[in-house]
A and B are shown apart, each in its own frame.
Chain A
Amino acid sequence: MKQSMAIEITVGLFVAAGMAALFVLAMKVSNLSTSSSGESYIITAAFENIGGLKVRSPVTVSGVRVGRVDAISYDFDTFEAVVQLRIDIMYDSFPEDTTASIYTAGLLGEQYIALEPGGSEDNLQPGDRIQLTQSALVLEQMIGQFLYNTATSEDK
């Protein structure tokens, strides 16, 4: 009787250790602790070129992460990429003339959307579209332009 109780206790400890390990993986290793509580709203923004932006890429304001990219689609009426941004409900008062730009974190890092609030009195409502956007910088285009400019300046 005593021995079987000891076995049951060690098995209980084993199961508890396994659960604790899963908990550690979820809370300490994964993004569960940093991800939002679920309450959020969506605004959209249209870009000429989104470069390497992906679904789940971060959305930041002054470097503070406020949400993430929810979906990316292409609009055939305007020939632009339409990006849905899912913003945490606690950041709900961006001015209407907020600018959305696509930047790269570091030289080779992932791309993210940076919002820069404007000065308007009215706030963006859920479902609104950000009017002022700045596309991603495509390295090849920049190099191409640079070469073209140096070539034309040498001609003069």
Chain B
Amino acid sequence: MILDPLQQLGRAGISFFERLGRGNMFLLQTIAGVPALLWRPGLVIKQMYSVGVLTLLIILVSGLFVGMVLGLQGYNTLSDFGAEESLGVAVALALVRELGPVVTALLFAGRAGSALTAEIGLMKATEQLSGMEMMAVDPMRRVVAPRFLAGFLSMPLLAAIFSAVGVYGGFFVGVGLLGVDEGAYWSQMQASVDLHDDIYNGVIKSIVFGFVAAWIAVFEGYDTVPTSEGVSRATTRTVVHTALAVLGLDFVLTALMFGD
């Protein structure tokens, strides 16, 4: 009786590590399926369309508005110190280092990750995956690996587009609306943003987030309980887990990259 809660805790712990182990084995199998895609690039291109191209619109619009908001807020704060000319630096650093990779990963999880999970989960629920196995088609190679690779490749591109559009959004508001000097906006930005320290680290972040987001999305789909309720739960879990993983990893990566 007294040991019941303890037993529950232990069960929860065991199932957590079981799932973690399954996820890692799954990842290895997925990556093992990636080289075979070199001979069938059509599979990846088709997935890049649904994962990358269809996510592009929300990324463009959000990037523009995030940049514009940064421009407005940054201007309000900086004008107190008479440092409006530093607006470009503030907007560019915030976007390239943090907001670009993180917000893109969150939007990516909501727009593309959930769709990947639902698609693979429904394939499993309707026994299409088992059907493939019956036909001696490996669903890991045919279904999972192309989707994983497409997500992994799309994320850094989307994050770069987000940051670039955001910088121009800040430019429209700062220079166009609020009257910051155009030359100062760009030259201060170029003087302070470093290619290695800022841009490369931002790209590394987006690559890591893309890897994690794509992994979680395909794993949750493949590991789903094959019922309609199971698919809906797996889709929710994808969004929640990706958001948590991205924000947690972002702290770790930021501490490693900019912590000194």
**Could you tell me which A residues sit within 8 Å of B by CB distance?**
4, 7-8, 10-11, 13-15, 17-22, 24-26, 28-35, 56
User: Is A31 a contact of B194 with CB atoms below 8 Å?
Assistant: yes
Q: Identify which of B13-21, B72-80, B116-124, B158-166 touches chain A.
A: B158-166
User: Is A30 a contact of B157 with CB atoms below 8 Å?
Assistant: no
User: Is A33 a contact of B52 with CB atoms below 8 Å?
Assistant: no
User: Is B157 a contact of A11 with CB atoms below 8 Å?
Assistant: no
User: Is A18 a contact of B199 with CB atoms below 8 Å?
Assistant: no
User: Is B157 a contact of A15 with CB atoms below 8 Å?
Assistant: yes
16 contacts across the A-B interface (CB closer than 8 A): A7-B45, A7-B49, A10-B49, A14-B53, A14-B157, A18-B161, A19-B157, A21-B157, A22-B203, A25-B167, A28-B186, A29-B164, A30-B198, A31-B191, A32-B195, A34-B190
Q: What is the CA–CA distance of A116 and B189 in the complex, to the nearest angstrom?
A: 27
Within residues 189 to 205 of chain B, which ones have a CB less than 8 A from any CB in chain A? 189-195, 198-199, 203
Q: What is the CA–CA distance of A35 and B192 in the complex, to the nearest angstrom?
A: 11
Add 9 more A-B contacts to A4-B46, A22-B203 (CB < 8 A).
A8-B45, A10-B53, A11-B48, A14-B48, A14-B49, A22-B164, A29-B163, A30-B195, A33-B190
**Could you tell me which B residues sit within 8 Å of A by CB distance?**
42, 45-46, 48-49, 52-53, 56, 92, 96, 154, 156-158, 160-161, 163-165, 167, 186, 189-195, 198-199, 203
Counting residue pairs across A and B whose Cβ atoms lie within 8 Å, the total is: 83
Q: Which of A10, A21, A34, A35 lies in contact with B160, CB distance below 8 A?
A: A21
Q: Which residues of A sit under 8 angstroms from B160, Cβ to Cβ? A: 18, 21-22, 25
Q: What is the CA–CA distance of A30 and B189 in the complex, to the nearest angstrom?
A: 7
Q: Which residues of A sit under 8 angstroms from B56, Cβ to Cβ? A: 14, 17
Q: Which residues of B sit under 8 angstroms from A35, Cβ to Cβ? A: 195
Q: Which residues of A sit under 8 angstroms from B42, Cβ to Cβ? A: 4
Closest residue of A by beta carbon distance from B60: A17
Q: Which residues of B sit under 8 angstroms from A14, Cβ to Cβ? A: 48-49, 52-53, 56, 154, 157
Q: Which residues of B sit under 8 angstroms from A11, Cβ to Cβ? A: 45, 48-49, 52-53
Q: What is the CA–CA distance of A14 and B160 in the complex, to the nearest angstrom?
A: 12
